[in-house]
């Protein structure tokens, strides 16, 4: 069976989902392919836009400040690409770059409003969000279940609550880290406590995973039971706030949060956590819902493996599942296959490859990455604001987000790329991952739709 | 026993030093072991763990004899941490065969005592049946069996046994000088890295078991010691790439090997004369490529396996110069500086007990103590009995695989850990899924095996040594350590950073394939979410992280 569509999106992480959602909701027939795992589902589910410049030690207080700095200082950054369009006047380049990211982020926030992953925050301030390690990180939008804004009040008291048999979060370590940090910078709250609750979802006493706990909390009167244990602990400490790992539910997280707050009389919020990530899953599922609502078709378990070209146009993509193979013809294609986790890039001792079209790969400084030894593009120090340069490798694109070849010419006029497959930035040290994926997905699909409308993308 | 007066101070907590401390303590000497870092934190932790029959050293019949005897002893005292592994040496070419066949007799002479069959030749069909990964053009292979031990557990058990016999063992205590009168050592001065203080103890004798640092300790004592330092590197592959061990001639005619090792496979090793600081040592690109190309000739698909990491160590060889490394004796020398210090050069893991026996004989003689060696008779902790993991698995409701791995580390002591889960069923939670390791074993090790850091826990438990290299267990285990030791928040973060740094040292040189995605995930967790790259804790750069 072969398929046809106007837009084919390869990769259903953040970048691909944003692109596909926009086109399908504008009535363009869209197919979205997903091979398997995506970094998006692993993410903490908070939308970073720009936290730090490479090597910087102070975070930006607002994403727009960050984007302004990127526009001025990092010309090879994916955020900067829109500035290269011929239609952009030199004196408006910065505005264009900041404006396009702002538009993409507010689109995302609006779109997710009535889903299982509603967001709060704005492009005009970075949130200092609390993590399961007890540390904080700058991010732009957090899911509403993670809202800890009122913790800034002078008289707040915070209780960290964990679960017995759930090793992904240890309230005592997190509480210590958090308190030491607060004391050092003189910020509230000054009083912090911790407790361990017993949940036993589905009768299990150990090896609990976040997904299991979240499923459990989505059902029956499990929130009431949780509240019964939590309230005395919160009362004992005189807590105004309770921080819990991100497990409040998959489908009903926000309702669960509200009910728990009602029953305990304290504000409850989720910490930013690590995989397996419930908020990452919520984000991914919410976008999938929007995509489907617009009439898009998601083919999970489908891997793009090769292609046919007709002259300089990409004509069709060959797709494989464990059971069958097929051809998908499309008028425009978005490549949003991610980095190494997603599988868009692969590397061995001889170099870094793009996995579907064998496109040219470059390093963060736009030198060829096709024949680099990955270990030489790493830093001696593992966890460092200087980042691991190998993670800045990826594709280089023209101002319309079309991958280009060695000669600087686009590989095809109807293939566009978005998300972490792009070169020129390291999302981990910048804290920019989902922001770049959203923004580039948002722009790339507009370019693709322009192309479909016959706009000249020169 | 006084805390500041000893008969003997043993310096170095590797396989050699812990064996010496055990022997001295068992003979009733007031013994102190000082280790600058953790038990088994240096050379011994980078070795293949082979308790070899001595096959490679058959030009030295007395060494071969010694090795063979030690195999028998280890099978007696440390059976619970020993593993027998069949090995094939596939021949692709007649020139691969050794020119004489004397090694067959030499190997087989004591085979029965070692509980292995005599060496034999296999046909190509039989070879490929045992190991289908071998090159199809194989013309024959040699089959034999060797023993392996967990070098971390061996060193730790020796240290614990020394403690059981009254010795004091201080880790994180670096010897920085000696107090001498009339040229004779009277005391040992060391810096305690935990308390940040300098301390002195009085002692009659010092045994310098510092492996590749031995010449430095001798110099500290105004004595001269010559060593031939020789770098060896391993590449560690995920899972058991081969069913059996493989040995083959390398590109330059030396022998290299592929050994199944715990849940991984070891590819080794190189041998390069080195003058590098052991603390800065990392595997080089050339070494990795040399090993891969060398083994590729007999296992053509080797590059399809996932490379997890590398590790490099320095052999402290006897100073034979002007011969190639493989001609240097694998025996050891005991050097009496005749000023209160006795040093080792050379030796192997397999010989550590024997080296200890020899040096302790000398120590006793010098001190006028009459006591005989019993280290080959008395079992190490946990080797008291067989363990029926199947019934334990049913009784405690923990998977058989988890218990098998735990048994391989602890023998009969496994029951003490399982008992903890009666009161704390939540401690059955798997913290390191690669290995696997459950929370109860981590808590037990923290309480009973004196770890100070997360890296120390790794050595005791193999925590974080699988394909994910601690990506998902580091913060979980660090939190448990912090809880048990009541550490500060900063210490918790430093432990995570230190552990990551140590893993990264090995991952980085061979970074490719799946490890690129694995490290992206690790960066996502610790840098992107944890924001630990921006943490202002006091993190000291490691020696291998310094410089350009
Ligand atoms: C542990 C972790 C935590 C993170 N936390 C945050 C955070 O808190 N905030 C933040 O902003 N960022 C975070 N990030 C970064 C962020 O997740 C990524 O930058 C972002 O998700 C990248 O999105 P993407 O769509 O480009 O790629 P991915 O999400 O990786 O999606 C790629 C998609 O392509 C598919 N694919 C690949 N090849 C093929 C093929 N041949 N055929 C079909 N499909 C294919 C994959 O299956 C996948 O669905 C985190 C990352 C990690 C690893
Ligand atoms: C790649 C490789 C593979 C090998 N494979 C095998 C094998 O399969 N079988 C085998 O039998 N042998 C093998 N060996 C050899 C074997 O590992 C070593 O001979 C043996 O482990 C050395 O142990 P050690 O205790 O003498 O040294 P180490 O393990 O290096 O211990 C010395 C200790 O002294 C400490 N120290 C140093 N200075 C001070 C100080 N000032 N104060 C306090 N402490 C100090 C160090 O921290 C260190 O822990 C191999 C070696 C290498 C490198």
Closest by CA position to B238, among listed B510, B490, B498, B543: B510
Check: CB of residue A435 under 8 Å from CB of residue A60.
no
C-alpha–C-alpha distance, residues A401 and A446, integer Å: 10
Query: Rg (Cα) of chain B, in Å, rounded?
Result: 23
Q: For chain B, what is the largest distance between any 2 Cα atoms, rounded to a whole number of angstroms? A: 70
**Angle at CA B480, nearest 5°, toward B475 and B483?**
120
Q: What does the alpha-carbon distance between residue A189 and residue A179 come to, in Å, rounded to a whole number? A: 8
Is the distance from CB of B411 to CB of B383 less than 8 angstroms?
A: yes
Of B1, B10, B334, nearest in space to B204 by CA: B10
- Nearest CB partner across the interface for A177, out of B480, B493, B504: B493
Nearest protein CA to atom 21 of ligand 2, as residue: B44
B392: closest CA of chain A, how far (Å): 18
Whether the bond between B348 and the residue before it is cis, its omega within 30 degrees of 0, is no
- B252-296 per-position pLDDT tens digit: 999 999 999 888 999 999 999 999 999 999 999 999 999 999 999
d(CA A16, CA B146): 54
Give yes or no for residue A86 having a pLDDT over 90.
Answer: no
How crowded is residue B330: how many other Cβ atoms within 10 Å of its Cβ? 23
| d(CA A298, ligand 1 centre) in Å | 17
Q: What is the DSSP string of A204-241?
A: --SS--HHHHHHHHTSTTHHHHHHHHHHHHHHHHT-SE
For B423, other C-beta atoms within 10 Å of its C-beta total 7
> Which pLDDT belongs to residue A280?
98
Query: How many contiguous H segments (helices) and E segments (strands) does chain A have?
Result: 11, 17
Question: What is the mean pLDDT, run by run of 10 residues, along chain B of 548 residues?
Answer: 87 98 98 98 97 90 95 97 96 76 88 95 97 96 97 98 98 98 97 97 98 98 97 96 95 94 93 96 97 97 96 96 89 97 97 98 98 98 94 97 96 97 97 95 98 97 94 97 97 97 97 97 98 95 87
> What residues in B contact A428, CB-CB < 8 Å?
523-524, 527-528, 533
pLDDT of residue A1: 72
A322, two tokens: 């464990």
B44 Cα: distance to centroid of ligand 2 (angstroms):
4
- Which of A17, A433, A442 best tests ligand 1's pocket when mutated (most atoms within 8 Å of CB)? A433
Instruction: Tokens for A422, please give them.
Output: 């792009």
Cα(A196)–Cα(A157) distance, rounded to whole angstroms?
17
Reported as type and span, the H/E element at residue A325 is strand A325-335
**C-alpha closest to that of B429 among B477, B395, B363:** B477
pLDDT tens figures, A131-187: 999 999 999 999 999 999 989 888 899 999 999 999 999 999 999 999 999 998 888
Calpha distance A85→B464 (Å, rounded) = 48
Task: Kindly give the distance from the C-alpha atom of residue B83 to the centroid of ligand 2, in angstroms, as a whole number.
Answer: 21
* Average pLDDT value for residue range A69-73: 96
A73 touches chain B (CB under 8 A): no
Q: Are A344 and A437 in contact (CB under 8 A)?
A: no
Are B510 and A375 in contact (CB < 8 Å)? yes
What pLDDT digit, counting tens, does each position of B133-145 carry? 999 999 999 999 9
CATH 3.50.50.60 for domain B5-44+152-226+330-367: yes
Chain B residues near residue A180 by CB distance under 8 angstroms: 488-490
Taking the Cβ of residue A133 and every Cβ of chain B, the question of whether any pair is shorter than 8 Å is answered with: yes
Question: So what's the pLDDT on residue B2?
Answer: 65
Angle at CA of residue B146, ends B142 and B152, nearest 5°? 145
What is the DSSP track for B255-292?
EEEEEEETTEEEEE---EE--S-GGG----HHHHHHHH
Contact (CB<8Å) A176/B488: yes
The answer, yes or no, to whether the previous bond of A189 is cis (omega within 30 of 0) is yes
A382 closest CB neighbour out of B428, B490, B501: B501
Three-state DSSP class for residue B141: strand
Quickly tell me which residue has 């080794």 as its tokens. B268
Question: Is the full-model pTM beyond 0.95?
Answer: yes
**Domain B84-146+228-313 - what CATH class?**
alpha beta
Q: For ligand 1, which residues put their CB under 6 angstroms from it? A: A 10-16, 33-40, 42-44, 46-48, 272, 274-275, 303-304, 336-338, 341-344, 355-356, 419-420, 427, 433-435, 437; B 520-521, 524-525, 528-529
Rg value, chain A, Cα: 23
Q: Do B475 and A349 touch (CB under 8 A)?
A: no
Ligand 1 atom 18: the closest Cα is on which residue? A433
For residue A9, the ligand closest to its alpha carbon is: 1
- Nearest ligand atom owner, CA of A417: 1
- What's B526's DSSP letter? I
Is the Cβ of A182 closer than 8 Å to some Cβ of chain B? no
Q: Do B429 and A208 touch (CB under 8 A)?
A: yes
Q: Locate the domains of chain B by residue range.
A: 5-44+152-226+330-367, 84-146+228-313, 389-538
Give the other-Cβ count within 10 Å of B511's Cβ. Answer: 25
**How many residues make up chain A in this entry?**
458
Across the interface, whether the CB atoms of A134 and B503 are under 8 A apart is answered: no
A341/B533 Cβ within 8 A: no
Q: What is the rounded CA–CA span in Å between residue B262 and residue B517?
A: 24
What is the interface size between A and B, counted as CB pairs within 8 Å? 184
Pair A80, A422: CB distance under 8 Å: no
Alpha carbons A17 and A266: distance in angstroms, whole number: 36
- A206 to B425: CB separation less than 8 angstroms, yes or no: yes
CA gap A350, A170 in Å, rounded: 41
The pLDDT of residue B150 is 96
Please check whether residue A209 touches B, CB under 8 A: no
Which chain A residues are closer than 8 Å to B545 by Cβ?
A: 380-381
Instruction: Report the alpha-carbon distance of residue B40 to residue B42 in Å, rounded.
Output: 6
The atom of ligand 1 lying closest to the CA of A302 is 43
Ligand 1 midpoint to CA B84 (Å): 44
Tell me which chain B residue has its CA closest to the CA of residue A133.
Answer: B530
Tokens (6 digits) for A257: 């949060």
Rounded to whole angstroms, how far apart are CA atoms B162 and B25?
A: 6
Q: Which ligand is nearest to the CA of B331?
A: 2
Q: Give me the domains of chain A, ranges plus CATH numbers.
A: 3-61+282-452 (3.50.50.60), 132-272 (3.40.50)
Task: DSSP for B173-203, please give it.
Answer: EEEEEEEEETTEEEEEEEEETTTTEEEEEEE
| Interface test mutation site (partner B, options A163, A428, A430, max chain B beta carbons within 10 A) | A428
Best residue for ligand 2 mutational test, from B148, B150, B315 (most atoms within 8 Å of Cβ): B315
Pocket test for ligand 2, best of B43, B269, B309 (most atoms within 8 A of CB): B43
CA distance B257 to B86: 12
Report the 10 Å Cβ neighbour count for A160.
Answer: 29
Contact A39 B545 (CB under 8 A): no
Cross-chain Cβ contact A134/B489 below 8 Å: yes
Per-residue pLDDT band for A449 (boundaries 50, 70, 90) equals very high
Residue in B478, B511, B517 nearest the CB of A378: B511
Crossing angle for the helix pair A278-293 and A253-264, to the nearest 10 degrees: 130
User: Are the C-beta atoms of residues B349 and B15 closer than 8 Å to each other?
Assistant: yes
CA distance A281 to A213: 14
The region of weakest confidence among A192-201, A397-406, B353-362, B539-548 is B539-548
| Interchain proximity A170–B476, CB inside 8 Å | yes
Strand locations in B12-112 (E): 31-34, 50-51, 82-91
Which mutation among B33, B48, B194 tests ligand 2's pocket best, with the greatest number of atoms within 8 A of CB?
A: B48
Pocket of ligand 2 (CB under 6 A): B 11-17, 34-37, 41-44, 46-50, 52, 174-175, 209-213, 217, 232, 234, 268-269, 313-315, 347-350
pLDDT of residue A202: 86
CA dihedral B439→B441→B446→B449, nearest 10 degrees, is: -170
Find the distance separating the first CA and the last CA of chain A, reported in whole Å: 36
Interface touch B520/A59, C-beta < 8 Å: no
DSSP at B377: T
Q: Calculate the CA A217 to chain-centre distance.
A: 24
Put simply, the answer to whether A348 touches B512 (Cβ < 8 Å) is yes
Contact at CB, A382 and B517, closer than 8 angstroms: no
What is the H or E stretch that residue B503 is in?
helix B489-507
Neighboring chain A residues of B524 at a CB cutoff of 8 Å = 39, 42-43, 274-275, 341, 428, 433
* CB-count burial class (<10 Å; 0-12, 13-18, 19+) for A211: middle
Calculate how far, in angstroms, residue B519's C-alpha sits from the geometric centre of ligand 1.
Answer: 14
Cβ of A275 under 8 Å from any chain B Cβ? Answer: yes
Closest A-chain CA to B541: A381
């Amino acid at each position: 069976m072969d398929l046809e569509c106007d837009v084919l999106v390869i990769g259903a992480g953040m970048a691909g989902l944003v692109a596909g959602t926009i086109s399908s909701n504008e009535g363009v027939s869209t197919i979205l392919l997903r091979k398997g795992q995506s970094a998006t589902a692993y993410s903490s589910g908070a939308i970073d836009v720009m936290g730090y410049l490479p090597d910087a030690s102070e975070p930006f207080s607002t994403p727009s400040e960050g984007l302004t700095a990127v526009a001025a200082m990092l010309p090879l950054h994916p955020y900067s690409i829109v500035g290269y369009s011929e239609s952009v006047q030199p004196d408006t380049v910065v505005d264009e770059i900041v404006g396009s990211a702002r538009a993409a982020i507010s689109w995302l926030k609006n779109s997710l409003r009535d889903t299982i992953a509603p967001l709060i925050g704005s492009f005009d301030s970075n949130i200092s969000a609390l993590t399961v390690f007890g540390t904080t990180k700058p991010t732009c939008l957090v899911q509403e279940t993670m809202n800890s804004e009122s913790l800034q009040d002078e008289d707040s008291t915070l209780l960290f609550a964990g679960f017995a048999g759930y090793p992904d979060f240890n309230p005592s370590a997190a509480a210590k880290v958090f308190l030491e940090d607060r004391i050092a910078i003189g910020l509230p709250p000054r009083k912090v406590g911790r407790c361990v609750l017993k949940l036993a979802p589905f009768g299990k006493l150990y090896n609990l995973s976040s997904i299991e706990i979240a499923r459990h909390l989505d059902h029956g009167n499990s929130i009431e039971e949780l509240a019964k244990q939590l309230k005395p602990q919160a009362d004992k400490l005189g807590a105004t706030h309770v921080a819990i790992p991100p497990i409040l539910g998959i489908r009903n997280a926000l309702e669960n949060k509200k009910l728990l707050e009602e029953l305990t009389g304290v504000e409850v919020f989720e910490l930013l956590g690590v995989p397996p990530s419930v908020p990452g899953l919520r984000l991914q599922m919410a976008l999938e819902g929007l995509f489907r609502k617009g009439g898009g078709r998601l083919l999970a378990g489908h891997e793009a493996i090769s292609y046919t070209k007709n002259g300089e146009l990409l004509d069709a993509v060959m797709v494989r599942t464990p059971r069958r193979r097929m051809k998908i013809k499309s008028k425009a294609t978005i490549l949003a296959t991610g980095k190494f986790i997603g599988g868009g890039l692969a590397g061995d001792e001889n170099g870094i490859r793009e996995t579907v079209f064998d496109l040219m790969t470059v390093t963060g400084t736009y030198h060829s990455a096709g024949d680099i030894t990955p270990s030489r593009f790493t830093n001696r120090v593992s966890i460092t604001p200087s980042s691991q340069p190998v993670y800045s490798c990826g594709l280089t694109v023209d101002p319309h987000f079309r991958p280009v070849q060695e000669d600087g010419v686009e590989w095809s006029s109807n293939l566009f790329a978005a998300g972490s497959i792009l070169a020129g930035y390291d999302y981990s040290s910048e804290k920019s991952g989902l922001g770049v994926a959203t923004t580039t997905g948002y722009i790339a699909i507009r370019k693709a739709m322009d192309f479909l409308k016959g706009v000249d993308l020169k | 026993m006084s805390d500041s007066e000893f008969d003997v101070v043993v310096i170095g907590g590797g396989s050699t030093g812990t064996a010496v401390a055990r022997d001295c303590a068992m003979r009733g000497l007031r013994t102190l072991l000082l280790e600058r870092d953790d038990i088994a934190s240096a050379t011994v932790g980078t070795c293949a763990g082979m308790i070899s029959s001595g096959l490679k050293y058959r030009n030295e019949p007395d060494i071969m004899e010694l090795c063979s005897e030690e195999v028998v002893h280890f099978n007696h005292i440390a059976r619970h941490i020993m593993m027998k592994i069949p090995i094939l040496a596939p021949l692709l070419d007649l020139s691969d065969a050794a020119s004489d066949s004397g090694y067959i007799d030499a190997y087989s002479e004591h085979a029965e005592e070692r509980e292995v069959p005599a060496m034999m030749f296999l046909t190509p069909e039989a070879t490929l049946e045992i190991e289908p990964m071998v090159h199809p053009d194989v013309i024959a292979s040699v089959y034999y069996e060797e023993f392996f031990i967990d070098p971390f557990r061996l060193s730790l058990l020796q240290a614990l046994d020394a403690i059981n016999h009254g010795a004091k063992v201080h880790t994180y205590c670096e010897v920085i000088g000696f107090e001498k009168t009339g040229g004779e050592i009277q005391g040992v001065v060391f810096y305690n890295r935990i308390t940040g203080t300098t301390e002195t103890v009085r002692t009659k004798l010092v045994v310098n078991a510092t492996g590749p640092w031995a010449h430095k300790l001798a110099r500290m004592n105004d004595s001269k010691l010559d060593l031939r330092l020789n770098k060896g590197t391993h590449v560690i592959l995920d899972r058991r790439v081969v069913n059996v061990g493989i040995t083959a001639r390398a590109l330059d005619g030396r022998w290299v090997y592929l050994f199944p090792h715990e849940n991984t496979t070891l590819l080794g090793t190189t041998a390069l004369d080195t003058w590098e600081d052991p603390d800065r040592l990392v595997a080089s690109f050339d070494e990795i490529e040399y090993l891969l190309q060398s083994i590729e000739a007999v296992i053509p698909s080797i590059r399809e396996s996932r490379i997890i990491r590398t590790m490099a160590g320095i052999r402290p060889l006897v100073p034979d110069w002007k011969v190639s490394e493989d001609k240097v004796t694998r025996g050891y020398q005991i050097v009496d500086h005749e000023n209160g210090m006795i040093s080792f050069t050379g030796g192997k893991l397999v010989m550590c007990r024997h080296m200890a026996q020899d040096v302790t004989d000398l120590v006793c003689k010098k001190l006028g103590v009459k006591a005989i060696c019993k280290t080959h008779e008395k079992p190490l902790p946990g080797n008291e009995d067989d363990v029926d993991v199947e019934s334990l698995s049913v009784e405690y409701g923990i998977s058989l695989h988890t218990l098998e791995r735990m048994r391989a580390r602890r023998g009969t002591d496994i029951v003490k850990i399982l008992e903890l889960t009666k009161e704390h069923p939540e401690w059955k939670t798997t913290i390191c899924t690669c290995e696997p390791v459950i929370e109860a074993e981590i808590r037990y090790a923290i309480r009973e095996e004196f770890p100070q850091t997360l890296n120390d826990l790794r050595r005791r438990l193999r925590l974080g040594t699988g394909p994910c290299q601690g990506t998902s267990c580091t913060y979980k285990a660090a939190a448990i350590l912090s809880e048990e030791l009541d550490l500060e928040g900063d210490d918790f973060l430093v432990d995570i950073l230190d552990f990551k740094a140590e893993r990264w040292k090995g991952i980085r040189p061979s970074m490719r394939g799946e490890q690129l995605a694995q490290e992206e995930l690790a960066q996502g967790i610790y840098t992107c979410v944890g924001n630990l790259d921006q943490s202002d804790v006091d993190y000291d750069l490691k020696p291998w992280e310094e410089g350009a």
